[in-house]
Amino acid sequence: MIQMKSRLNVIDNSGAIVAECIKVLKNAKWAEVGDEIVVSVKKARPISDKTSGSLSAAKIRKGDVRRALIVRTKKEIRRPDGRYVRFDDNACVLLNNQQQPLGSRILGLVSAELRFKNWVKVVSLAP
């Protein structure tokens, strides 16, 4: 249940750490796992010219506006078998405008709902 102003942890290695939702990209108030949102990066890992080689091509800085995919929510999600699953935090993965993940690795779990919403690339990156 992510809405505007919700903060999420960024769990890929794009360089951002905390992102704040500024727009839910569907015709609803809230976004759940597997939904796209537009985020503003609130905290990012410091970028120095020396380490730029190890990062992905895009350099994420604080204040960047990017798209993101919600991968974990504290609000429980209903599974088709009737189970409800919820995580301990809200987390997202940064995407570019072509819906491809910006980072090359994903640290931490992602919800299994992503598979059903066709985010195969993200799912394959996750452990």
C-alpha distance across the termini of the chain, in Å: 24
Task: List C-alpha distances in Å: 99 to 47, 55, 66, 90, 94.
Answer: 24, 19, 11, 20, 9
Residue 116 sits in the site that holds another protein (CB under 8 A)? no
Of 84, 85, 59, residue with least CA distance to 72 = 85
What does the DSSP 8-state code read for residue 14?
T
Q: Which is nearer to another protein, 84 or 100 (CB)?
A: 84
Q: Which is nearer to another protein, 55 or 85 (CB)?
A: 85
Q: Pattern of binders to another protein over 30-69, x per CB under 8 A?
A: ----------------------------------------
Q: Pattern of binders to another protein over 65-104, x per CB under 8 A?
A: -------x---x----xxxxxxxxx---------------
Q: Which is nearer to another protein, 44 or 110 (CB)?
A: 110
* Residue written as token pair 């999420």: 8
